[in-house]
Chains A and B, each alone.
Chain A
C-alpha cells in the first residue's frame, strides 16, 4: 500500500447547496418567492403565521406553508383555519427526527406543494437556533422569530442564525410589562451581529405590529424579483449585455 494525498478543497455543504439550487430553480420556474422561517422552539413562528397570513389572499398575496416538524402535524392543523395550502413535512423519516430541514427534505416534499397556485411559500423550519442556519433549502429570504422570553444575549450566542437572516421579528412584546427584559438591548445585540437585519417588534397574540410583518411579506416578491434582475445583469447572462462585456473587455 502507499498513501496518496488528494487535494479536495470543497465546501462540505456543497451537496446540500446543489440540491438547494435545484429547489430554487423549481421555485423560480413557478415564480414563487420562498421564505425560510426559523426560530428557537416556542418563539411563536406558527402563531405569527396564524395572525400574519390571515386573509392575505384577499389582499392579493397567495401564500402557502410547508410545515417542518420533527413529528406530528400540530402546526399544520393550527394553520388549517387559514384555508391556504399547508403541507406537512416530518423529519423523522428514517433518521430518527432531524433537528432542521435540509434541501433534500424540502425537495422530497415539493411534489405535494401546489407551487403554481402560490406567490409566496413559507417554509417553517424545525424550532432550533443552530442547525437550520447551516442548511440552505433554496430560499429567497431567511427570517427568524426571536421572543422576549429568550434573553437579550441570544444574538451573541447564536450569531450564525442571526447573521443568516434579513428580518428578525421580536415576538411576544405584549409580555414585556411582566418581564425584566431590555428589548432595546436585544435589538442592539441583533444589529451588532447583523447590521443589515430589519427588526420588527410584534405580538402575534394581540396583533401588535403584525401589520408591519404583513406589509413586509407583501412587498417581498417584488423586491426579490428586483434583486434577481439586478444580479442577472451583473452575471452578464443577457446576450446583449454579454456581448457588450466582450466588446469592452
Chain B
C-alpha cells in the first residue's frame, strides 16, 4: 500500500533530474527490506507519471538482496525472512549490509539534437 507514496517520491526525483527533458527509461535500485511490490509500484508509477516528463518511460528495477553482517564474527548472510539474528553470536551485533536501498539509479532522457550538437563538450 505504500507503493503509491513511493511512486510520487520517485516521479519527483526523476523529473527533477530530467530538467524538463522527456524521460524514456528509469532504473531503480530497491532493497528487499523495503517490501516494495514491483507490479504495484509499476502500476502507480504509470498513474503518477502521467502528464509529466516521465510519462511512458520504461522501468527497470534492480533488486538488492537483504544481506546482514554480524560485527562480532564478521559473518555475512542473505535473509529471506525477517530474522535479524546471527546463528553463532545472537542478535546483538547484527547490522544490515544491503537491502534498505530505495534509489533512483539512473534515467535515460531525450536530448534535442540541436542542443546535443551545439552544447560545449
Chain B residues in 8 Å Cβ range of A2: 110-111, 113, 116
Identity of the chain B residue whose Cβ is nearest the Cβ of A99 in the assembled complex: B1
In this complex, how many residues of chain B approach chain A with their Cβ under 8 Å: the count is 39
Chain A residues in 8 Å Cβ range of B13: 8, 10, 12, 14-15
Chain A residues in 8 Å Cβ range of B85: 192, 195
Would you list which residues of chain A between 92 and 146 have a CB under 8 Å from chain B?
Answer: 98-100, 102, 128, 130-131, 134-135
- Give the contacting residue for B17; candidates A8, A99, A100; CB below 8 A: A8
- Give the contacting residue for A156; candidates B81, B91, B103, B106; CB below 8 A: B81
Interface of A is mostly: mixed
B20 at the interface (CB under 8 A from A): no
Interface residues on A, range: 35 or more
Chain A residues in 8 Å Cβ range of B14: 8
Identity of the chain A residue whose Cβ is nearest the Cβ of B81 in the assembled complex: A156
A193 at the interface (CB under 8 A from B): yes
Chain A residues in 8 Å Cβ range of B9: 12-13, 15-16
Identity of the chain A residue whose Cβ is nearest the Cβ of B30 in the assembled complex: A12
B98 at the interface (CB under 8 A from A): no
Q: Do residues A160 and B1 form an inter-chain contact, with CB atoms below 8 A?
A: no
Q: Do residues B106 and A134 form an inter-chain contact, with CB atoms below 8 A?
A: no
A221 at the interface (CB under 8 A from B): no
CB within 8 Å for A3 and B33 given contacts A12-B103, A193-B84, A194-B84: no
* Assembled-state Cα–Cα distance A116/B97 (Å): 40
Q: Do residues A9 and B105 form an inter-chain contact, with CB atoms below 8 A?
A: yes
Report A70 CB to chain B, min CB distance, Å: 14
Q: Do residues B82 and A156 form an inter-chain contact, with CB atoms below 8 A?
A: yes
Q: Do residues B108 and A5 form an inter-chain contact, with CB atoms below 8 A?
A: yes
Report A238 CB to chain B, min CB distance, Å: 28
Q: Do residues A192 and B113 form an inter-chain contact, with CB atoms below 8 A?
A: no
Q: Do residues B107 and A159 form an inter-chain contact, with CB atoms below 8 A?
A: no
Chain A residues in 8 Å Cβ range of B51: none
* Assembled-state Cα–Cα distance A178/B10 (Å): 46
- Give the contacting residue for A3; candidates B28, B35, B94, B108; CB below 8 A: B108
Identity of the chain A residue whose Cβ is nearest the Cβ of B66 in the assembled complex: A159
Report A158 CB to chain B, min CB distance, Å: 8
Q: Do residues B91 and A192 form an inter-chain contact, with CB atoms below 8 A?
A: yes
A11 at the interface (CB under 8 A from B): yes
CB within 8 Å for A6 and B106 given contacts A15-B9, A134-B2: yes
Chain B residues in 8 Å Cβ range of A56: none
Q: Do residues A134 and B6 form an inter-chain contact, with CB atoms below 8 A?
A: yes
Would you list which residues of chain A between 205 and 219 have a CB under 8 Å from chain B?
Answer: none
* Assembled-state Cα–Cα distance A192/B83 (Å): 5
Chain A residues in 8 Å Cβ range of B84: 163, 192-195
Which 9 residue pairs are nearest across A and B when measured between Cβ atoms? A195-B91, A159-B82, A12-B9, A131-B2, A8-B104, A12-B10, A1-B110, A130-B2, A12-B13
Residues of chain A having any CB pair with chain B under 8 Å = 1-16, 98-100, 102, 128, 130-131, 134-135, 155-156, 159-160, 163, 191-195
Q: List 23 A-B contacts (CB under 8 A).
A: A1-B110, A1-B112, A3-B24, A3-B111, A4-B108, A6-B18, A6-B107, A7-B105, A8-B14, A8-B17, A8-B103, A10-B103, A12-B12, A12-B13, A12-B103, A100-B5, A155-B82, A159-B82, A160-B34, A193-B83, A194-B84, A195-B85, A195-B91
